[in-house]
Structure formats: C-alpha cells, structure tokens
Structure 1
C-alpha cells in the first residue's frame, strides 16, 4: 500500500474535471472557496440533497471558534485502534519507504497547503485520542493560513488552540493525554465523520451548526445556486417594502414579467453588484415556456 497515493485519489474522484494537486487531490478554485465563505449551511445542503448526496453533514461537534466560518479543501485520514503488527509495519513503511518523519498525525499535517482542512476519523477516541494540541494546531495555522481541522475524536491544549485566530477546529472532546495506541491505515482516502462521508478534495464548510462536505464537482454549482437564492431574496425584500408584490407573489413561481423586473433591477441596482457574475438565461427561458402553468421555474 501507499499513503496519499495519486492513482487512488484520481480513481476515487472521476467526476472532477478541473485542476489537481500533484498528489491527485481535486483543487477547487480559490474563487469558489472565497464565495463559499458567504453562503449558509442550508444553502449548501439543498443542492447536495437534491443530487442524492444525503450523508454529507455532521453536527455533533464542539467548536473552538463557534462564531467563525471555516472553508477549505479536505485532506483526510483514517485511524484505527493499535494492533502491534499492523502498527509497526505501517509506521516502518512510512519512515523507510516514503521518507516520513514523526507519528502518523504529523505526516498528515506536514502535507498541508494553503486553504486545507484536516478531516480525521479517530473512531470517536478522546482519551489518548487527541489528534492535535497547541503545537500541531499552530502548524495547521501556518500551513493553511485560514483552514483548520475536523476531528472525530479528541484534542488537547484547548487554552492554547483557542488563541489561534486564523483556523477553526471541530472536535468531539478534550483530554490532557497525548495521542497513543492508534494507527493510520489511510491518508487521503474515503473517511467517515459521524454519519457523514468525506473524500479528499471535498470542500469543507464549517458553520456554527456543524460541518458539511461538498464534493468538488458540485462545489461551483452549490455556490451559484446559493448566490442566486441570496440575490433573489434581496430583490424580494426590496419589492415587498415598496409594495410592488405580495408575499404570495414573491414566494410563488415568478411570472415572466417578474423575472424581467428582477433582471432589470439586477443589472442596475448597487445591491446586486457583487452578484453580477451570475447569469439568468435558463431561468428566463424556463419562465417563458411555462409561464402561468403554476410550475416552479427556480433551479
């Protein structure tokens, strides 16, 4: 076996057609990451659910900075309870064949780059299951700039970690013990976090409610649909305050006339400026085809 094997990662993520890191991990663009930071959990959840991705969210965490949003590309790891023969074999292999140094958790953190998020299945181990403490959290901060960690297990040195401003950490519990009696059996492989699944290169969106893992090939679609929902809401609030439309009209499928009104507002009102990278041809075409039928033309 190989840790962080490019051939395996490419094989696991065939629907991603964009840029990749040297190890094969999908590299969703910085622009999409930037825009992802402005959307809500529910806005991200909807498109995934509608595409059949129903096991992407986990909310049963403690959070170092519960008021901060975390967005980044997943680097995954799977840990299991220590079995001496397996432990010695894999540790020796990593040191001698792949030139890695230190313990398994250090291997993962040493691989991080900007905007990465460590996603670790520690099989819910907290006592002797503290994946990071002050030192490794500082290393995550240095390497990722604004990333963090999602750990289905424990952390230590909370008083130090909470002082690190530019990362966030989602974890199951705290303990003063160091990590022990665990073995890493996979790096950048499919990883289970509670009831959710994460693959290497998934976009990790951490919110006050929990964490959602967004497949890279759906990341831009998710952002676009969220942005469209946001700017339509802005328009709706404006027209409701002006008394132009009723709440029933705003909440119902829009007529062609309403869509035309929206597009005119969208193209000219300063409140829509940050959304002008969006296009509306599909919505207008759909409205023209089924206007008055009672069907919802929203994507």
Structure 2
C-alpha cells in the first residue's frame, strides 16, 4: 500500500483525458478555474444534475470568509476514529516507507500546490477533530495562494485564520483542542463530505451557499453551459426591462426570431464581450428545426 498512489488515482479518474500532476491527480487548466470563479453555484449544479451527478453538493458549513468564493483542485483525505493497531501501522508506514514527517494532516498539507483545496472527511469530529489551526492554515495560504480547505470536522485558532485573506475554510465547528484520536486511511481517495462525493482533482466551487464538487472531465462543459445561461439571462433581463418580450417568452424555448435578436445583441453589445468565446450553432440548429413558433416544423400548420 501507499498514500497518494498515482496508479490508483488514475484508475478512479479514467474519464479525465487532460494533464495530470505527478501523482496522477487531474489538473484542470487555470483558464477553466478562472471561468468557474465567475459562475454561481446553481449555474454549476444544473449541468451536473442533468448528467446524473446528484450527490455533488453540501451546504451545511460554517465559513471563515462568508462572502468569499473559493475555487480550486481537490486534494482529498479520509480519517477514521483511532484504532491503535491500525493507527501505529499507518503512521509508521508513512514515516518509514514514504519519508513523511509529522501527523497525518501535515502530510496532506505538505503536498499542496497552487490553487489546491484540501477536502477532508473527518467524520464530523470537532472536539479533538481540529484539522487546521493558525499554523497549518498559514501553510495552506503559502502553498495554494488562493485555495483553502473543506473540512467535515473541526478547526482551531479561528481568530488567527480569519486574518488570512487569500484563502477560505469551510468547516463544521471550532474547538480549542488539537487534533487527536484519528487515523488517516486514505489520501487522494474518494471522500464523502456530508451528502457529497469528492474525488482527487475535482474542481471545488465553494460559495456562501455551500460547496459543489465538479468532476474534472465535466469542468469545461459545466462552465460553458453556465456561461451560456449567464449571458442569456443578461440578454433576457435587458429585453424584459425594455418591454420587448414577456417573461413567458424569455423562459420558454426560444423561436428562431428571438434567437436572431439574441445573436445580433450577442455579437455587438458590450455586455456580451467577455462571453464571445461561446458558440451557438447547436442552439440555432435546434431552433430552426422547431420552426419560428417554437414547435417542431412538422407540426406547423400552414
């Protein structure tokens, strides 16, 4: 066995075809991370739900910076209550066979890279379940630059952590005790956070509403669908204020004439500038097949 096993990580993330870190963890591009920082949690949730990924969201957290959005690549850890024989075996293995230093939580934080987010299942333990405090949060800040931690358990030194501006921490509760009586049984393995499942390399989108874990192979299609929803909403709000369309027209399947109005606006309006990397061929073809009134062409009565 070993912690942070590259072959195992590749085995559980077979749908990812892009770049990977040296440990096999999927490396979603910085461009996609930047674009995900601009979408809402609900905009990311919809494409995942439609594809059958219905256990990706958890909202029951306390948040160090409640109004700060955090986006990054997941580094996962799973801990269980301490059983002495298992605890000594795994701790000794990490120290002697893998050359790791300190306690289990330090192993994970020592592995972090820029834009990483630690995602930890600490089985909702708060007393003696404080995964990070001031020192380790400072280390997260130094290593990830703008990442942070999702902890299904506790933290300590909250007054110190709140002064670290460039990261965020989502957690279940705080306690003055240090971490104890726990054993890490998985590093960069599947991890359960409340009702959600997170794999290493998932894109973490953490907002005031909660946290959603986006599988790396769905990161780009998710952000594209979210951006399309955003820019259509911008257009819809403008036309509704102008009294051009009713809410029923905006919320229904758009007929070709409305799509043509949108495309003219999309290609020329300053509000659409940052979205012009998007293409609409599929949507326009679908509208043509439906006919101008939104019904399939074969149903149109002459």
TM-score range, shorter chain: over 0.9
CA distance in 2, matches of 1:55, 1:159: 32
1:243 matched to 2:239: no
Aligned to 1:268: 268
In the alignment, is the contact (CA less than 8 A) between 1:253 and 1:294 conserved in 2?
Answer: no
In the alignment, is the contact (CA less than 8 A) between 2:125 and 2:152 conserved in 1?
Answer: yes
Count of residue pairs the alignment pairs up: 295
What pairs with 1:1-12 in structure 2 (closer than 5 Å)?
A: 1-12=1-12
1:139 matched to 2:139: yes
Aligned to 1:166: 166
Secondary structure at 2:279 match in 1? coil
CA distance in 1, matches of 2:165, 2:274: 27
CA distance in 2, matches of 1:272, 1:161: 38
Aligned to 2:202: 202
CA distance in 1, matches of 2:195, 2:283: 35
1:120 matched to 2:117: no
CA distance in 2, matches of 1:51, 1:61: 26
CA distance in 2, matches of 1:178, 1:74: 24
Aligned to 2:299: none
Instruction: Extract structure 1 runs of 4+ deviating beyond 6 A.
Output: none
What pairs with 1:47-66 in structure 2 (closer than 5 Å)?
A: 47-66=47-66
How large is the RMSD of aligned CA atoms in angstroms? 0.9
Secondary structure at 1:177 match in 2? coil
CA distance in 2, matches of 1:193, 1:240: 40
Cα shift readout 1:64-85 (whole Å, capped 9, x = no counterpart): 0110001000000000111111
Aligned to 2:30: 30
Cα shift readout 1:160-211 (whole Å, capped 9, x = no counterpart): 0000001000001100000011110000000010111100000111011111
CA distance in 2, matches of 1:248, 1:198: 38
CA distance in 2, matches of 1:246, 1:194: 41
What pairs with 1:219-258 in structure 2 (closer than 5 Å)?
A: 219-258=219-258
The alpha-carbon deviation at position 241 of structure 1 amounts to 2.2
Cα shift readout 1:18-52 (whole Å, capped 9, x = no counterpart): 11111000000101100111111111111111111
The alpha-carbon deviation at position 252 of structure 1 amounts to 1.3
Aligned to 2:86: 86
The alpha-carbon deviation at position 293 of structure 1 amounts to 4.6
Aligned to 1:280: 280
In the alignment, is the contact (CA less than 8 A) between 2:130 and 2:153 conserved in 1?
Answer: yes
The alpha-carbon deviation at position 9 of structure 1 amounts to 0.3
Unaligned runs of 5+ in 2: 297-302
CA distance in 2, matches of 1:136, 1:122: 16
CA distance in 1, matches of 2:4, 2:260: 51
CA distance in 2, matches of 1:56, 1:253: 28
Secondary structure at 2:28 match in 1? coil
1:259 matched to 2:259: yes
In the alignment, is the contact (CA less than 8 A) between 1:10 and 1:25 conserved in 2?
Answer: yes
Secondary structure at 1:200 match in 2? coil
In the alignment, is the contact (CA less than 8 A) between 2:69 and 2:208 conserved in 1?
Answer: yes
In the alignment, is the contact (CA less than 8 A) between 1:41 and 1:207 conserved in 2?
Answer: yes
1:108 matched to 2:134: no
The TM-score, its normalising length taken from structure 1, stands at: 0.97
CA distance in 1, matches of 2:153, 2:295: 49
